[in-house]
Structure 1
Amino acid sequence: MRIITGEAKGRIIKAPEGMNTRPTLDRVKESVFNIISNKIYDAIVLDMFAGSGNLGLEAISRGAKFCTFIEKDKSAYKVLKENIKNLNFEDRSKAYFGDSFKIIKNLSKENFKYDLIFLDPPYGRGMVQRAVEAISENRIYNDNTFIISELDEKDDIPEIVGIFKNFRTEKYGRCKIIFWVKEDKYE
C-alpha cells in the first residue's frame, strides 16, 4: 500500500501481517478519494476500524486538518502507530486502541464532530449499519458530514440508517462502497 497523492505521495504504508485486517486496495482508494476530493481539505476525519490507517493517512496527505484513528487489533494498532510516525503525521492525528463503539461514545462526550468518517470494518458482520447508527446516536457529525463505508457486495444494508441516507453506491469487484449523507441533505 502507498499514499496516492498529496504531501506524502508515493510513501509506503505498512500493513499488519495475517488475516485480521483487509486493507482497501489502492485502485478502490483512488476512486473513493476522487469522488470525495472536494470534501478533504481542512476536514476533521474519523477512521473507525482503521487497520493500518490507509484511508485516514491518505486524507491527511491530501490536506485534511486532523484524523482520529480507532483500531482494536493489537498488531494492526502497532502498525498504525508506526505509519503515523513514519509519515510525520503525529501532530495531525490521534490513534485510539480499543472498541470503536465505546471510543466514539467517549468522543461524543468531548463534543467531537467529524466532516468525513471512514468505515471499513470486517465484512459480513453488520458492523457498518451498527457504526452508522452509533454515529447518529452519539452525534459525532455536523450538518455536512460525509460517511464512506466499505462492505462486501453480499452485505445488505437499509437505504436509511439513523439520520443518514445512502447517497451513492459504487462497486469494485467484490466490495461496494456506500457514501452516506444526512437525510435532510440528500439531493
Structure 2
Amino acid sequence: MAGRGVRVAGGVARGVPLVEPRGVRLRPTSGLVREAIFNILGNAVEDARVLDLYAGTGALGIEALSRGAAHATFVEGEAACTEAILQSLARTGLGERATVLRGRIPAALARLEGPFDLIFMDPPYDDPAKEEVLAGLAPLLAPGGRVVFEHGSRYNPPVRPRGLQLLERRTYGDTAVALYSHLEGE
C-alpha cells in the first residue's frame, strides 16, 4: 500500500511514496526530521556507502540513494518490511544500488562488510540493545564517516561509545538525532 505521507523528500526520487508494510507497527522518521538530517549531512551523502540499520520502511537509506549515495545496505528483521523496502526501491528506480538483508540486530552486524561512510541507526526507542549496537559500529565506519542515531528526545545518548565520539545532538519534538564520528586518535 502506498505511504500515508512517507515520501522521498529530495533528490532524483523526490515525492515518490514509499511502500509501508502491513501488520507491522513502525515509527518512520518524519519528513521534517529526514530533511533536517540531510541538511546537516550536506555533501557527505554524495557517492557515500550507506548502512540503514533497523530500516523499517527504508526511508533513510532510500533518501540517501535519491540524493546521490553510491550504495545503500538495508538491515531489517521483519519480512514484511524487507519486502516493502524492495518494492519501494523498485518504485523509485534505485534498486540497482541497494542490498536488502533480513536479520535481527545486533546479530546481523556480523554479516556486514564495511566500511560505510554513513550509518543510519533508528532502533525502537525502547530497544535495550541500542547502546550495545552503537558501541559496535566503529569497525564498520569509514575514516571521516558519520553515524546518525535517531532516538527519543528524553534519552541521553552516550558521549563516547566504544570507538566513537558524539559530535552534536539536535532535538525535533519527541525525536532527537545524535551524530557520531570516530573517536580522535582511533
TM-score greater than 0.5 by the shorter chain: yes
Check if 1:95 corresponds to 2:100.
Answer: yes
Report the alpha carbon displacement of residue 18 of structure 1 after superposing the two structures with TM: 4.5
Distance 2:19 2:160 in 1: 35
Q: Provide the C-alpha distance between the structure 2 equivalents of 1:64 and 1:31, rounded to a whole number of angstroms.
A: 17
Contact 1:21–1:76 (8 Å) recurs in 2: no
User: What does the per-residue CA deviation read over 1:73-129, in whole Å, with 9 as the maximum and x for residues that have no partner?
Assistant: 122122111111111222100000111322221224xxx210000000101224432
- 8 Å contact from structure 1 (residues 43, 65) kept in 2: yes
Q: Match of 2:146?
A: 146
**Percent identity at matched positions?**
27
Q: Secondary structure at the match of 1:52?
A: coil
Aligned equivalents of 1:93, 1:11: Cα separation in 2: 17
**In structure 2, the residue corresponding to 1:58 is in which secondary structure?**
helix
Counterpart residue identity of residue 39, structure 2? N
Q: What is the rounded CA distance, in whole Å, between the counterparts of 1:134 and 1:99 in structure 2?
A: 14
Q: List aligned pairs for 1:1-187, cutoff 5 A.
A: 1-18=6-23, 20-108=25-113, 112-136=114-138, 139-184=139-184
Q: After TM superposition, which residue ranges in structure 1, 4 or more long, deviate above 6 angstroms?
A: none
**Alpha carbons 1:15, 1:23 under 8 Å: kept:** no
Distance 1:66 1:13 in 2: 18
Specify the SS of the correspondent of 1:124: coil
What RMSD over aligned residues (CA atoms) do the two structures have, in Å?
Answer: 1.6
Q: Which runs of 5+ in 2 are unaligned?
A: 1-5
Distance 1:13 1:6 in 2: 14
User: Are the counterparts in 2 of residues 124 and 155 from structure 1 also a CA contact under 8 Å?
Assistant: no
1:19 Cα deviation (Å)?
5.3
Identify which range, 98-107 or 54-63, moves more after superposition. Answer: 98-107
1: CA distance between counterparts of 2:23 and 2:154?
23
Following TM superposition, by how much is the alpha carbon of 1:35 offset from its aligned partner in structure 2, in angstroms? 0.4
Q: C-alpha separation between the residues in 1 aligned to 2:73 and 2:173? A: 29
Task: Please identify which structure carries the higher helix content.
Answer: 1
1: CA distance between counterparts of 2:47 and 2:35? 19
Length, aligned pairs only: 181
Does structure 2 retain, via aligned residues, the 8 Å contact 1:128–1:149? no
Indicate the SS of the match to 1:122: coil
| Distance in 2 separating the partners of 1:88 and 1:162 | 37
Q: Give the TM-score normalised by structure 1.
A: 0.91
SS where residue 100 of structure 1 aligns? coil
